[in-house]
Chains A and B, each alone.
Chain A
Amino acid sequence: MLEFTLRRITGTIPVLLGILFVAFTVLYLIPGNPALTVAGPRADQETIDRISKEMGLDKPVHARFFSYASRVCQGNLGESVVSGKPVLESIAEKFPYTIKLALIAMLFSVVIGVITGIIGAVTNGRWLDRLCTFFSVTGISIPVFLSGLIFLYVFAVKLRWFPTSGFRGGDSLWPFILPAFTLGIRSAAFLARIVRSSLIEVLNQDFIRTARAKGLKPMRILLRHGLVNALIPVVTVIGLDLSSYLNGSVIVETIFDLPGIGRFAMDAILKRDYPVIQGVVLFGAFIFIMVNLFIDLLYAYINPKIRDEMMRKSEK
C-alpha cells in the first residue's frame, strides 16, 4: 500500500508541473502587453517600462516561467488587474459557494442517478428500462444553459417557488436548490447509465444466482449483493464529475447569479482580467488532480484487488 501511495503521488508531479507550464504558456501567448493593461491607456513609455520591469517582463521566457512556478508553489497566484486583490484570496472567498453548489448537485445526481439506474437494470429491456434510458440520453444531451433557463422561467418566474436572482448571502440553502438541480440532473443522467450497465453485469454473475437459490429476498439480493458490487465504477464517475461541475458552474452561476468560482471566472473573462483567469484555470486543474488522487488511494485502500490492477497497469 505504501509503495502504491508513493508511486501514485510521484505520478502526479509531472502532471502538476505540466499544468503550470500550460497555464503559463496561455498567459504568455495572449496578444498585447500586460504592462500596458496595468498602466492604463494614457501612460507614457517610461511608466510602461518601469511597470514591465516590476512585473519581470523584461526577463527571458524561461526565467519568467521559473519565477512564476516558484511563486505559484508558494501559494501566490498573482493579483487581479482590475481590483488589485490577490487571486487566491478571492478564490478562497468564492469557493465555498461553488463547493456548496457542487455538493448539493452531487446529492441530486447520486439519488436520482442511482435510483434510475437500478430501475433500468431491474427492468432490463422492458418499457420502464427504455423510459429510463430515454431519460438519461435526454439528460446528457440537453445543454445546461437551456435546462437552467427553463427551470428559472418555470419555477422562479412563473411559480415563484425560488428567488429569480440576487443572491443575498446568509446560510440559507434555498437559493442553491434550483442551480444545483440543474447541474445535478446532467450528471444524474450520466450516472444512471453507468449504474445500470454495471448492475446488469453484476446481477448476471454466479454469486447472485447462488443468493437466489438460497432463497434470499430479492430486495436484499439487489441491494446487499448487487448494488454494493456495482458501485465501484460509480465512485469513479462521481469523482470525475467534479470537473464537469466546475465547467457547469461557469454557466449555472452566471444564469442564477451565484457568487461562486464560475461566476468569478466569467467576470474575469469579460473584463480580460488574465491573472484571475489563469489562477482559476490552474486552481480547477489542481482540484481535479487532487480529487482523482484521493479517489484512487481510497479505492486501493478499500479494495486490494484494484490496487494490484493499477500497479500492473502503470507498469504496462
Chain B
Amino acid sequence: MNSALKRMTWAGWISLAGLFAIVLVAIFAPWLAPNNPLETDPLRRLAKPEGFLLGCDQLGQCVFSRLIYGTRLSLGIGFAARFSALIIGLMVGMLAGYFGGWLDWALMRVVDMFLAFPSLLLAIAVSMVLGNGIGTVIMALAIVGWAEMARIIRSATLELRSAEFIVAARTLGSGHLRIILTHILPNCMPLITVIFTMGLATAVLAEASLSFLGLGVDPSLPTWGGMVASGKDYMMREPMLVVYPGLCIAFLVIVLNILGDELRDIFDPSRKGQF
C-alpha cells in the first residue's frame, strides 16, 4: 500500500484531499452549517439576508446549510448502495468464477439480464415496489449496480482460479471457502477498491438523478439532486439555486472518478485508460 501511494500523481492527491474534505463536511455537518437546513421562512424567500452565505431558496431555507447537510445524504446513500452492491457482486462473481460450470452459466445469465435493463428505469420500478424512504433508494441502487461488479469480479476470479498458488493451496487440502476467503479475496482487493470508487461515482449520480426526478428520498430532506429539482422552477430568477447543488454533485463525482482512474493505474497499469 505504501509503495502504491508513492506512485500517485498530483491529480490523485488533490482528488484524495477533495474526497477527504467532503467526508469531513459530511461528518461535521451540524457544526459547519450556520442555520437549520429545514427551517422555512416565507419572508426570506429567494432573498439574501445577513448570515445566509449563499442566500435562501424558494421556501426561505438556507442554501448553504442545505448543501452541507446534502453531503451526508449524497455520500451516505451512495456509499451504502455501492457497498450492498459490492457484497452481492462479490458473492455472485466469486461463486461463478470459482466453481464455473452450470452455476457460472446460470449466474451470468442473471447478470446479463440485469445489465440489459435501463438502469434508471429499473431503479424507479424497484423504488415503487418498496415505497419511499432512504432504505428504498439504497436498495434500488444496489439492485441496479451489483451486476456490473459481479461480472468484473468473476473474470478476476476466473484468472486467479488456475494460478499456481491456488492449485498449491488445493493440493495442501484447503477447502473451497478457505481458498476463496484467504487467497482469492485478498488478491482481488486492488480491483475491488478501484471498481468500488468508480461505482461510488455512478451511485452518487444515480441518487441525484432519482432525487431530481422526485423519486428519491423525501423531497423536503436536503439532497443535492432534490435541490436542483426544486431550484429549476425558479431558475429564471435565481439560476444559482440550480448551479450550487449541481456543482456539488459534479465536484464529488469528478473527485471519485479521478481517484478511481488513479487507483486503477497504480494497481493495474496494463489496464490504463480502460473501464
Contact = CB atoms under 8 A, between A and B. Distances in A.
Contact of B212 (A18, A143, A288): A143
Nearest to B252: A141
A246 B118 contact: yes
A288 B112 CA distance: 11
B129 A251 contact: no
B113 interface: yes
A144 B274 contact: no
Interface stretch (B18-26, B57-65, B243-251): B243-251
Interface residues of A, number: 51
29 contacts: A15-B112, A19-B113, A137-B261, A140-B253, A140-B257, A141-B205, A141-B253, A145-B228, A146-B228, A146-B250, A149-B246, A150-B242, A153-B242, A157-B236, A196-B273, A197-B273, A247-B118, A247-B121, A251-B213, A254-B213, A265-B124, A266-B213, A269-B213, A270-B214, A272-B128, A281-B118, A281-B122, A284-B117, A288-B117
Smallest CB-CB A-B distances: 7 pairs = A197-B273, A146-B246, A18-B113, A141-B253, A284-B118, A247-B120, A141-B254
B116 A289 contact: yes
A141 B109 contact: no
B236 A285 contact: no
Contacts of B126: 26
A95 to B, nearest CB: 14
B131 A281 contact: no
A277 B128 contact: yes
Given A15-B109, A265-B121, A284-B121, A30 B250 contact: no
Nearest to B205: A143
B209 interface: yes
Contacts of B228: 143, 145-146, 149
Contacts of B186: none
A143 B224 CA distance: 11
Nearest to A265: B121
A141 B250 contact: yes
A227 interface: no
A143 B118 contact: no
Contacts of B242: 146, 149-150, 153
A31 B228 CA distance: 30
A29 interface: yes
Given A146-B228, A157-B236, A251-B209, A29 B124 contact: no
Nearest to B232: A149
Interface string A181-216: 000000000000110111010000000000000000
Given A30-B129, A250-B213, A281-B122, A143 B109 contact: no
A272 B128 CA distance: 9
Given A149-B235, A284-B118, A285-B117, A26 B125 contact: yes
A36 to B, nearest CB: 16
Interface of A: 14-15, 18-19, 22, 26, 29-31, 137-138, 140-146, 149-150, 153, 157, 193-194, 196-198, 200, 243, 246-247, 250-251, 254-255, 265-266, 269-270, 272, 274, 277-278, 280-281, 284-285, 288-289, 292, 316
Contact of B129 (A29, A138, A285): A29
Nearest to B236: A157
Interface string B190-228: 000000000001000100110011110000000001001
A144 B215 CA distance: 16
B119 interface: yes
Contacts of A193: 273
B201 A141 contact: yes
Interface in B227-275: 228-229, 232, 235-236, 239, 242-243, 246, 249-250, 253-254, 256-258, 261, 272-274
B110 interface: yes
A243 B121 CA distance: 11
Interface in B85-126: 109-110, 112-114, 116-122, 124-126
A178 to B, nearest CB: 15
A251 B129 CA distance: 21
Given A30-B128, A137-B257, A137-B258, A22 B246 contact: no
B226 to A, nearest CB: 11
A102 B123 CA distance: 21
Contacts of A30: 128-129
Contacts of A272: 128
A266 B131 CA distance: 17
Contacts of A18: 109-110, 112-113
A157 B232 CA distance: 13
A276 to B, nearest CB: 11
Given A137-B258, A277-B121, 12 more contacts: A19-B113, A31-B131, A138-B254, A143-B225, A143-B228, A143-B250, A146-B246, A146-B249, A197-B272, A197-B273, A265-B121, A278-B125
Nearest to B246: A146
A153 B234 CA distance: 11
Most chain A beta-carbon contacts within 10 A, residue among B128, B131, B235, B239: B128
A52 B250 CA distance: 48
